[in-house]
């Protein structure tokens, strides 16, 4: 946990902290912590990029004025929203403290949270020390969960274990990234993954078993489609963000038509199968 705590506390661009505080300010009384993650961690120039945050709240009922939003977050976590502050743009996902802890652990086949937080992230805002420590504890569960799910291969180098694990998780979601993206996550900072490897392996429970990846892939891709459909309702401009992300990562040139903006749910449900057939997302 000490490695995770130290990594989460590494300084970031002051504008990132300011944006995190501004996101939290929209949820008075329920915001507990804000984490910054994703490829932008490695970027020194943030203008024009889409920053990624997770907002951790005490309870969905306290976080939203509208009951259906709380219900959507509870049933299909997380809810995702766009945000702008001081000239930067971002999106943030909302999870309760309980769900953030659960989804970083081995009790779920859903890879989306523990696969992301096994990678570097930063704790950029917390309401108090208790909230900060709970965030650290939840993130500390992610790497052991990832490596345990991938399963141990006798004699395998720890970096190859990480690479194989990320390849499995990328295959369990709809992804627009080019082939090899999972390996590049490790290769961007191999010393970090070697340093984290031994403590993460030591934290794997003795009775942990790998496998089950066919089921994870089927469920994960279906869940990705459901989340995209939900985002078309909860995320203003969500269909444009979907096109932007796919164009950026897959090198496509998708252009959203006016009717697709008027009917984003229909657009999302028709666009995804077409992109899967073309290979733009997998």
d(CA 220, CA 203): 25
Helix (H, G, I), strand (E, B) or coil at 254: coil
CA distances from 127 to 24, 44, 117, 121, 254 (A): 9, 27, 20, 18, 40
In this structure, CATH architecture of domain 2-214: 2-Layer Sandwich (3.30)
pTM of this structure: 0.85
Q: What is the average pLDDT across 181-185? A: 81
Contact 141, 104 (CB under 8 A): yes
Average pLDDT of the chain?
Answer: 87
Q: 205: closest CA among 160, 153, 154, 141?
A: 141
Say which range, 40-44, 91-95, 126-130, has the weakest mean pLDDT: 40-44
- pLDDT tens digits for range 221-263: 888 777 777 776 666 666 666 666 666 555 666 676 776 666 5
d(CA 211, CA 209): 7
Which pLDDT score, from 0 to 100, does residue 209 have? 78
CA distances from 21 to 27, 125, 208 (A): 10, 6, 38
Sequence ranges of the domains in the chain:
2-214, 215-278
Token couple for 226? 């459901």
Looking at 9-128, list the stretches that DSSP marks H as alpha helix, in order from N- to C-terminal side.
14-25, 60-63, 67-75, 97-103, 112-117
Higher pLDDT, 270 or 45: 45
Confidence of residue 48 (pLDDT cuts 50, 70, 90): confident
d(CA 19, CA 52): 11
Contact 189, 233 (CB under 8 A): no
- Assess whether the previous peptide bond of 78 is cis (omega < 30° from 0): yes
Q: 158: closest CA among 186, 188, 185, 184?
A: 186
Q: How many Cβ atoms from other residues are within 10 Å of residue 55's Cβ?
A: 26
Q: What is the average pLDDT across 186-198? A: 96
pLDDT of 267 over the 90 cut: no
Which pLDDT score, from 0 to 100, does residue 280 have? 47
């Amino acid at each position: 946990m000490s490695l995770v705590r130290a990594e989460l506390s590494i300084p970031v661009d002051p504008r990132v902290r300011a944006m995190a505080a501004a996101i939290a300010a929209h949820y008075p009384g329920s915001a507990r912590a804000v984490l910054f993650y994703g490829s932008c961690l490695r970027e020194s120039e943030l203008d024009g990029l889409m920053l990624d945050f997770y907002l951790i709240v005490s309870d969905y009922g306290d976080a939203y004025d509208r009951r259906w939003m709380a219900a959507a977050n509870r049933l299909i976590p997380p809810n995702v929203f766009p945000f702008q502050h001081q000239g930067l743009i971002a999106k943030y996902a909302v999870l309760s403290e309980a769900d953030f802890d659960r989804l970083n652990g081995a009790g779920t086949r859903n890879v989306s949270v523990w696969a992301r937080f096994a990678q570097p992230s930063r704790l950029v805002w917390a309401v108090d020390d208790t909230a900060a420590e709970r965030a650290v504890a939840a993130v500390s569960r992610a790497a052991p969960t990832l490596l345990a799910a991938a399963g141990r291969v006798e004699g395998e180098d720890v970096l190859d274990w990480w690479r194989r694990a990320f390849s499995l998780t990328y295959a369990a979601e709809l992804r627009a990234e080019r082939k090899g993206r999972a390996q590049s996550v490790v290769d961007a900072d191999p010393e970090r993954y070697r340093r984290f490897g031994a403590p993460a392996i030591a934290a794997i429970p003795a009775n942990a078993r790998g496998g089950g990846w066919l089921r994870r892939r089927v469920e994960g891709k279906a869940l990705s489609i459901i989340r995209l459909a939900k985002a078309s309702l909860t995320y203003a401009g969500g269909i444009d963000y979907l096109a932007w992300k796919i164009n950026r990562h897959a090198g496509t040139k998708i252009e959203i038509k006016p009717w697709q903006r008027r009917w984003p749910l229909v657009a999302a449900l028709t666009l995804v199968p077409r992109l899967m057939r073309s290979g733009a997302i997998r």
